[in-house]
Structure 1
Amino acid sequence: MTNAPSTSEPIRIVALVFPDVTQLDLTGPVQVLSRLPGAEIHLAWRDAEPVATDAGFRILPTTTFADTPPADVLFVPGGDGVDPLLTDAETLAFVRDRAAGARAVTSVCTGSLLLGAAGLLTGRRATTHWASLPLLERFGAIPTASRVVHDGPVVTGAGVSSGIDFALTLAADLRGEDVAKRIQLAIEYDPQPPFDAGSPAAPDVDHAFVTASREAMLARRGPLVDRAAAALDA
């Protein structure tokens, strides 16, 4: 990424919303990024109707694809709602268009699969939720099992809760570490989980569950990714 702009300059953050989005993928990073000096948050979808999240409540887009301004930061969250978008021409065209002029092209969780389907991860290191991580390779990306991964203008976060780590990292890139640290303090982000079972490598993890979940995810999502990768190649 280039040098951080002056904190007096506006910065347009365009976040994609879509049906069945994992709401914390979206709302965690947006909560952090909305506190950046000069931040303009745009929640974009193809129309302005309320969008149902995976948690059962709805989020109201603030703009449509047609009316979304150019993005300084393009952000794509994840969730099962990503799956039908991997071959959705309108959404892929929107993502490519807003990524073209952005300083940072970003995602959390399976949002990186949508970046991959749009052809934005070829040859780049990227991460996603652990259960889907191997699928990134089918888009020409280099799967990287880290909580936050930088590769040029592309910044990707792993699953769900890593979105806050991702957003604070991005905030430091955009406005400097001092600003990011103040945001961290303001939201009291001081995680002290009751269990050490939050990643496949954690000591308290259920390894049988990890294996079964990964196999089930690759079996379900793999054919969708293959179709999206084939369309991209074509």
Structure 2
Amino acid sequence: MQVAIVLYPGFTSMDVIGPYEVFGRLPDTDVVFVAERPGLVVNDLRSLSINAVAGLADVPSPDMVLIGGGPGQAGQMADGNLHEWLRTVDRTSAWTTSVCTGSLILAAAGVLKGRRATTHWAMLENLAEFGVTPSKERVVIDGHYVTGAGVSAGIDMALTLAGLIAGDDMAQTVQLIIEYAPQPPYHVGSLDTAPPEVVENAWRVMSA
């Protein structure tokens, strides 16, 4: 199975690295980082780069495509080479997936129209602009589309999909290998649990 993880300038690292750690440990799976042009792609914090070893044209028919989110997502909403590639590979992919605001890119490309999907809480309602039904679920499966909510949800999405692809035993084995047993020190990981002042601070930081 070939998994193509899409990179673009300003991506959020954990959106793609979390799923990479899961999918890269599945048997008979080749994970390749792709971008419009091969080479180093810088993340949103401008302090980490991932080498995209292939251009979009070099990966014409992956079994799975995954695109993450991040502030750079805003620059990937116009129709162009990336959207055309997403539409093309979606026709033959077993799974088309996203993490965080990556689903907005899929939506803008037109592949999620009429589907349910999720994204980061701050952008959730924006999905409706593209004919997509927003869902507050952490992981949403609709047909061969699998979307994860914000950032850390990418690991949940990947493990869910790993179970469907390789079976529950293998998915659980990978979960143990990466010791994914979250025990966050604060109970503020969603709008439902975060107090108003924390939500206000989050909006301020994201808008800076």
The normalised TM-score by structure 2 is 0.94
Q: Percent identity?
A: 41
Instruction: Decide whether the 8 Å contact of 2:39 with 2:53 is kept in 1.
Output: no
Q: Hey, what does 1:229 align to over in structure 2?
A: none
Q: Hey, what does 2:124 align to over in structure 1?
A: 133
Q: Deviations over 1:128-164 (max 9, x none)?
A: 0000000000110100001100101110000000110
Q: Note if 1:112 corresponds to 2:97.
A: no
Matched ranges for 1:82-231 at <5 A: 82-202=73-193, 205-210=194-199
Identify unmatched segments of 5+ residues in structure 2: none
Deviation at 1:206, TM superposition (A): 2.7
Instruction: Decide whether the 8 Å contact of 1:132 with 1:214 is kept in 2.
Output: no
Q: Distance in 2 between matches of 1:133 and 1:216?
A: 18
Match of 2:7 among 10, 17, 20: 17
Q: Deviations over 1:89-130 (max 9, x none)?
A: 111111111111101110000000001001111111100000
Deviation at 1:69, TM superposition (A): 4.0
1:174 partner letter: I
3-state SS of 2:32 partner: strand
Q: Distance in 2 between matches of 1:46 and 1:129?
A: 24
Match of 2:49 among 58, 73, 77: 58
3-state SS of 2:122 partner: coil
1:90 partner letter: N
Identify unmatched segments of 5+ residues in structure 1: 1-10, 221-234
Instruction: Decide whether the 8 Å contact of 1:131 with 1:213 is kept in 2.
Output: no
The structure with more radius of gyration: 1
Give the ranges of 4+ consecutive aligned residues of structure 1 lying more than 3 Å apart after TM superposition: 211-217
Q: Hey, what does 1:7 align to over in structure 2?
A: none
**CA separation of 1:68 and 1:181: change in aligned 2, threshold 3 A:** same
The aligned length equals 206
